[in-house]
A = this chain, B = another copy of it.
Amino acid sequence: MGVAGVEPIQDVAHLAHVEIRTPRMDETLEFLTTILSLQESHRAGPSVYLRAWGDYYHHTLKVTEADRAGLGHAAWRAVSPQALERRVTVLRERGWGRGWVEGDIGHGPAYRFVDPAGHLMEIFYDVEWHEAPGAVRTRLKNQPHKRPLAGIGTRRIDHVNLLARDVKANRQFLEDCLGFKLREHIVHGGHEMGAWLSVTPLVHDIAYMHDRAHADGRFHHVAFWLDDYGDLIRAADILKEAGARIEAGPAKHAVTNALFLYLYEPGGNRLELFTGGYLIFPPDWRPVTWTEEDRDLRVWWGGDLPESFFTYGTPAVEPVKADLPA
C-alpha cells in the first residue's frame, strides 16, 4: 500500500478482461458465443475478442489460438492515468515489470508485469467503450447492449482464479504492489491454501489457489455473472443438453457465499457461472480465515467439489501428489 503514504488508496479500478488460450479455436468460439451468449467484438490474427451483454468495454474475454489451453493474461484498469503511473513505478521497482506494450484492440498503452507465480498481467487506463449498433441497442440506457435472445445469457465478467505454488507470496504481491485487499483465505496448518482478493466491493476480483502440481502460471478459471438463481438452474439445463462438460454445481460455496457452476469449454479451460455472494463496503474489512475446522465446508450445500477441482488447471500437467494437507 505504501506508495501513497499511510492511507490506502485505490489505484486499480477493476478486472478489465482476461485472455485465455485454446487449442480448439473453432469449438471454443462456437461454445462461448452459442451457449454462453458471449458476443464477438473483433477478430485479429489468432485472437477473437468477446464480451457479455452487460460488459461496458470493447471486450472482456480475449480468446487466442495456441498449442495448449491456459491463461494468456489478465488485465486491470487503473482508476486514472496517475494511478497507472504509480503502479508502474512500483511494479518496475519491485522487479515484476515487463515493459509497456502499445495496447491492443479495445484499449490503449498497457504495462505488462508478472505475478510471483509467473502469470502475465497488464494494467492500462485508456479503454474503448462498447457502442451497441442500432439493432442491439436497448432503450435501457444504463445497459450497454440488449440481452441476447439465445443461450445462457451470461451478463458480465466477474473474476479470475489462478493457481500458484505459493499462495501467500502471490497474495502479498497483489496487496503490496497493486493495493488489493484480502477478503477471505483458507489456512491449513499455517499454509495459505487459497486467497480471495479484490479492489472492488466484489468478494473477489481475483483468487489464488494452491497448485498441487507445483507448476507455475497455471489458470484455474474465469467467471461470468448471472443475475438470478433461476438463471443458474436454467444454465445447468442448457449446458447438460448441449453436451457441455459440467465439473460441479449448481451448488453454493462457503467461501464467497456464492452459487457456482464449473464447466470446461471445449479447449479445456475451466469457466465458472457465478451468482449470489455478497458485497464488501467497509474500508477496514477483516479477512475471513477458513481453517482445518471448516474442512467439511468445501461447499456450503450441493454436491462436493470433485478431485479435479483441486488438481486440474490449464495447461494440464502430470498429476503429482499433494504436498500440503488438503
Check: A88 CB closer than 8 A to any chain B CB.
no
Most buried by B among A34, A83, A242, A282: A282
Closest to A80 in B: B7
Q: In whole angstroms, how far apart are the Cα atoms of A9 and B142 in the complex? A: 24
Stretch at the interface among A64-72, A167-175, A213-221, A293-301: A293-301
Q: In whole angstroms, how far apart are the Cα atoms of A246 and B251 in the complex? A: 13
> CB distance A13 to B283 under 8 Å?
yes
- Contact partners of A234 in chain B: CB under 8 A: 147, 153, 228, 230-231
Q: In whole angstroms, how far apart are the Cα atoms of A178 and B290 in the complex? A: 37
Number of interface residues of A (CB under 8 A): 80
Q: Mark A284-325, 1 if CB is under 8 A from B, else 0.
A: 001011100010010011111000000000000000000000
- Contact partners of A203 in chain B: CB under 8 A: 142
Task: Say yes or no: A281-B241 contact (C-beta < 8 A), given A143-B257, A302-B302.
Answer: no
Check: A2 CB closer than 8 A to any chain B CB.
no
Check: A106 CB closer than 8 A to any chain B CB.
no
Q: In whole angstroms, how far apart are the Cα atoms of A190 and B80 in the complex? A: 31
Q: In whole angstroms, how far apart are the Cα atoms of A288 and B150 in the complex? A: 27
Of B139, B200, B283, the contact of A77 (CB 8 Å cutoff): B283
Closest to A302 in B: B303
Closest to A57 in B: B282
Task: Say yes or no: A282-B14 contact (C-beta < 8 A), given A34-B149, A231-B230, A302-B302.
Answer: yes
- Contact partners of A150 in chain B: CB under 8 A: 149-151
- Contact partners of A10 in chain B: CB under 8 A: 10
Kindly identify, within residues 217 to 268 of chain A, every residue whose CB is under 8 Å from any CB belonging to chain B. Answer: 227-231, 233-234, 236-242, 246, 248-252, 254-257, 259
Kindly identify, within residues 139 to 183 of chain A, every residue whose CB is under 8 Å from any CB belonging to chain B. Answer: 139-143, 146-147, 149-151, 153, 183
Of B240, B255, B304, the contact of A300 (CB 8 Å cutoff): B240
Check: A56 CB closer than 8 A to any chain B CB.
yes
- Contact partners of A248 in chain B: CB under 8 A: 303
Q: In whole angstroms, how far apart are the Cα atoms of A83 and B281 in the complex? A: 15
> CB distance B142 to A249 under 8 Å?
no
Cβ of A105 to closest chain B Cβ, rounded Å: 18
> CB distance B79 to A302 under 8 Å?
no
Cβ of A217 to closest chain B Cβ, rounded Å: 26
12 chain-A/chain-B pairs, Cβ below 8 angstroms: A7-B80, A13-B281, A57-B282, A80-B283, A139-B254, A142-B257, A227-B229, A228-B229, A229-B230, A229-B233, A230-B234, A237-B300
Interface of A toward B, CB cutoff 8 Å? 6-10, 13-14, 34-35, 54, 56-57, 77-80, 82-83, 127, 129, 138-143, 146-147, 149-151, 153, 183-184, 200-203, 227-231, 233-234, 236-242, 246, 248-252, 254-257, 259, 276, 278-279, 281-283, 286, 288-290, 294, 297, 300-304
Closest 4 CB pairs of A and B: A303-B303, A230-B230, A14-B281, A150-B150
